[in-house]
Amino acid sequence: MGLCGEAIDIVKKTMFQGHALDREARIKELGGIVWYLAETATALGIPLEKILQGNLDKLKKRYSAGFDTQRSQDQQEP
Asked whether residue 72 is domain-assigned, the answer is no
- d(CA 74, CA 30) in angstroms, rounded, equals 28
DSSP 67: -
21: in domain: yes
Residue 9 lies in a domain: yes
Q: What angle do CA 34, 52, 6 make, to 5 degrees?
A: 25
pLDDT at 77: 57
The verdict on residue 55 lying in a domain is yes
* Number of structural domains the chain divides into: 1
> What is the value of pTM for the model shown?
0.63
Residue 14 belongs to what domain range? 2-66
Position 71 in a domain: no
* pLDDT 10s digits, 16-72: 888 887 888 888 888 888 998 999 999 999 999 999 999 999 989 888 888 878 877
Residue 30, pLDDT score: 85
Closest CA to 36 of 77, 3, 4: 3
pLDDT tens-digit readout, 6-24? 778 778 888 888 888 788 8
- Whether 77 is in a domain gets the answer no
Residue 45 three-state SS = coil
| Residue 78 lies inside a defined structural domain of this protein | no
Domain-embedded: residue 54: yes
**CA 47/CA 38 separation, integer angstroms:** 8
